[in-house]
A and B are shown apart, each in its own frame.
Chain A
């Protein structure tokens, strides 16, 4: 994003809205730090930040690589060109009843890098994907836009272009057979100590009957307690995937 200095009156109304803390007042004008700006678009939305002069605009290069990587992973109003899906991941559990993305006997795992608040660089994201690749997890979700930025999925390595970028969040997504759960979560917990950000961790599984946290005892062994609030797919989609 950029500030039109001819229009800006330095009122500072935009400053607190920036999730990345990229806006400051310099010489009585708002200034956006281009390195800190993640292109989430919040400051430029007239309905959100009521800039009295309409002085905040998108940069001309925001839809061109490498800047567009920030845009697509940070602005929920931008649809990924590759997947036609808005947001940063796939439809994950949202449509699992018709896609069968996570089947019986499997777990779906999503590692939401940078979430909440801190954002993530692809250098940190790569630390996690490389750790997973060393464990033999190399089949990352095909429809996830993050996978399109990998230079070598077998090693979990991203392109140099991606590694120049920071984003609000990006989701590492994959499925594993049931029996790999404990080892995979242990790897994820281990690599968490090496990164300069945070991630929120998702675990998707099929339900046999009512929504219960059947996997809780397995997680307890790893010192992980699932939150009491979750997201449940009600199984109303058709055609229903039952496998």
Chain B
């Protein structure tokens, strides 16, 4: 599924929000791909990701360790990682291109920012998945402010009521924006929720 697509927000607050997925294709090149992914994971850990996890372990914000993520790669392994820095994404893409692993890589983020990366690394991208918005009974959705947090977990694991409660905690001074953002990050099992972006979004609720 497209769990990294459909993040709502403004171009300004989406500017430093990137998700990189490395995905061996089932039945085509997944056999023997674990070691390649471990090498990529090592590079990611050295770079310093904003969030990372796996379907087998959950994320670093729910207590998963780097070693555990590497150790528990399945027979159809995947790397899902979130960055708040275009430079780091560029370095990762450069590394994967240079090593020629032959595995598929997608980057989700603002199209203009991704264009900067592909041009800098001299890559001709293959395909694009566009978000054409939300349709249907949109009047039943939570507020746009809540959706900006909830849609950072495309699997739908972060409940609107948790977001509302954590916003209330920030307003009341019970939690800092960073503490609330890290709590919000925990139900996301794959690691693409961006707590840096969430903390910035939460700052407007802080007591003045």
Q: Which of B39-55 contact A (CB under 8 A)?
A: 55
With A19-B159, A236-B97 known to touch, is A204 a contact of B131 (CB < 8 Å)?
A: no
* CB pair A199 B136 closer than 8 Å: yes
Q: Which of A195-243 contact B (CB under 8 A)?
A: 195-207, 209-213, 215, 219, 224-238, 240
Q: Which of B155-208 contact A (CB under 8 A)?
A: 155-162, 165, 186-187, 189-190
Q: Which segment of A3-11, A84-92, A150-158 sits at the interface?
A: A84-92
Residues from chain B with a CB closer than 8 A to the CB of A229 are 5, 7, 9, 14, 17, 108-111, 131
**Distance in Å: Cβ of A146 to nearest Cβ of chain B:** 11
Instruction: Flag whether B81 is at the interface (Cβ < 8 A).
Output: no
Q: In the complex, A183 Cα to B150 Cα: how many Å?
A: 31
Q: How large is the interface on A (under 10, 10 to 19, 20 to 34, 35 or more residues)?
A: 35 or more
* CB pair A213 B130 closer than 8 Å: yes
User: Residues 96-136 of chain B: 1 if any A CB is under 8 Å from the residue's CB, otherwise 0?
Assistant: 11001111111111111011001100011111111111111
User: Residues 1-26 of chain A: 1 if any B CB is under 8 Å from the residue's CB, otherwise 0?
Assistant: 00000000000000111111100000
**Distance in Å: Cβ of A63 to nearest Cβ of chain B:** 16
User: Residues 95-133 of chain A: 1 if any B CB is under 8 Å from the residue's CB, otherwise 0?
Assistant: 111110010000010101011111100000000000000
Say which residue of A42, A205, A206 sits within 8 Å of B187 (CB atoms).
A42
Instruction: Flag whether A40 is at the interface (Cβ < 8 A).
Output: yes
Interface centre among B126, B131, B161, B190 (most CB of A within 10 A): B126
Q: In the complex, A95 Cα to B30 Cα: how many Å?
A: 11
Q: In the complex, A201 Cα to B131 Cα: how many Å?
A: 6
Interface size on B, residues (CB 8 A): 86
* CB pair B26 A16 closer than 8 Å: no
Residues from chain A with a CB closer than 8 A to the CB of B96 are 236
* CB pair B4 A21 closer than 8 Å: no
Instruction: Flag whether A77 is at the interface (Cβ < 8 A).
Output: yes
Say which residue of B62, B106, B111, B147 sits within 8 Å of A212 (CB atoms).
B111
Interface centre among A88, A168, A201, A230 (most CB of B within 10 A): A230
* CB pair B111 A116 closer than 8 Å: no
Say which residue of B93, B104, B187 sits within 8 Å of A237 (CB atoms).
B104
Using a CB–CB cutoff of 8 Å, the interface residues on chain B facing chain A are: 1-9, 11, 14, 17, 19, 21, 23-26, 28-29, 55-56, 58, 62-64, 74-76, 78, 93, 96-97, 100-112, 114-115, 118-119, 123-138, 140-142, 147, 150-151, 154-162, 165, 186-187, 189-190
Question: What are the 9 closest A-B residue pairs judged by CB atoms, nearest first?
Answer: A235-B126, A238-B102, A237-B104, A89-B1, A95-B25, A47-B62, A201-B132, A198-B136, A192-B135
